[in-house]
A and B are shown apart, each in its own frame.
Chain A
Amino acid sequence: MKVFRWLWVIATLAVLANGYRVAMYVVPADADQGNLSRILYYHVPTWCGMAIFFTVNLICSLVYLAIRNRNPERAMKTDALALASAEMGVVYCLIGMATGSIWGKAAWGIWWTWDARLTTTLVLWLIYVAYLLVRRFITGPEMRVMAAVIAIFGFADIPIVYMSTRWWRTQHPAPVFFGGPNTGLAPSMMPALWWNLAGWVAWGVFVVALRYAAERRQQIADQQAAAVALEAA
């Protein structure tokens, strides 16, 4: 298992290094934006990572609510994975907003605008930050149930974020994937996107696995501490 973990890390770093090489030196610069368009090769994979890990969080939250009474041990595992994936999703969302803001400053001349895409994304980030704050500051057995319910409601914002560029007139362009006619990337730019997408998703999987392991250890340590206290009493 340890060997597999190290192989995963090495493969991830190799894919990210190659992704950087392809993004910087292989694919051509955009005709309009020049080298600035290369931000896309980190910006888009970040959003894909966010969507993946918030979806994992949603699934784990639903499973937790479904099995928490029937199978508490497995429910605790899914809860640990829900926490790890939510944190990773928040990190990806933050990076997506930061890289988008830097790109927007150069392309549009502004750091931020309150258009539908950016505003719904900020709301999404705040919902998941609230989810993490609930987990951090609320104690007691109902904390996990409350967090799972917030996660389910929070996820409802993701389709709104995705569809915002279709439903409303926005400063932000249409999505790269499934964005409709006259959207998407030139085939010559796709290799950089795929390499970086694979690299950042693999990175996310590694970090979530590490965070999950830490949370599981903490849960077990808390259970052991409770057992020791009972024995002492």
Chain B
Amino acid sequence: MNPMFHRHLVAAYAVTWIVQLSYLAYAARKWVAARKAQREIQKNRPSS
């Protein structure tokens, strides 16, 4: 087998993990930001 093909195998697996981890990081950042926004609103809510 062409040894170049090993590079393609490594590239395919690496691309999968890079894209998945990037999206996981995006989702986690959104989660942290939403939690912070919710806390800020609760803190600033005028007491009745």
Residue numbers of A with Cβ under 8 A of B are: 20, 33-36, 38-39, 42-43, 46, 87-88, 91, 94-95, 98-99, 102-103, 105-106, 203, 207, 210-211, 213-215, 217-218, 220-221, 224-225, 228, 231-232
Contacts and interface: CB of A to CB of B under 8 A. Distances in A.
Contacts of B38: 217, 220-221, 224
Nearest to A99: B12
Interface residues of B, number: 30
B15 A106 contact: no
Given A94-B19, A218-B34, A218-B37, A102 B1 contact: no
* Interface of B (DSSP majority class): helix
Interface string B1-28: 1101110110111011001100110011
A217 B35 contact: yes
Contacts of B46: 228, 231-232
Given A38-B9, A211-B27, 17 more contacts: A36-B5, A36-B9, A39-B13, A43-B12, A46-B16, A87-B23, A94-B19, A98-B12, A106-B8, A213-B31, A214-B33, A215-B30, A218-B34, A228-B45, A228-B46, A231-B45, A231-B46
Contact of A39 (B12, B27, B28): B12
A94 B16 CA distance: 9
Which of B1, B4, B28, B33 gathers most chain A CB within 10 Å?
Answer: B1
A155 B46 CA distance: 46
A207 B27 contact: yes
A102 B16 CA distance: 11
A228 B44 contact: yes
B19 A98 contact: yes
Given A43-B12, A228-B41, A217 B24 contact: no
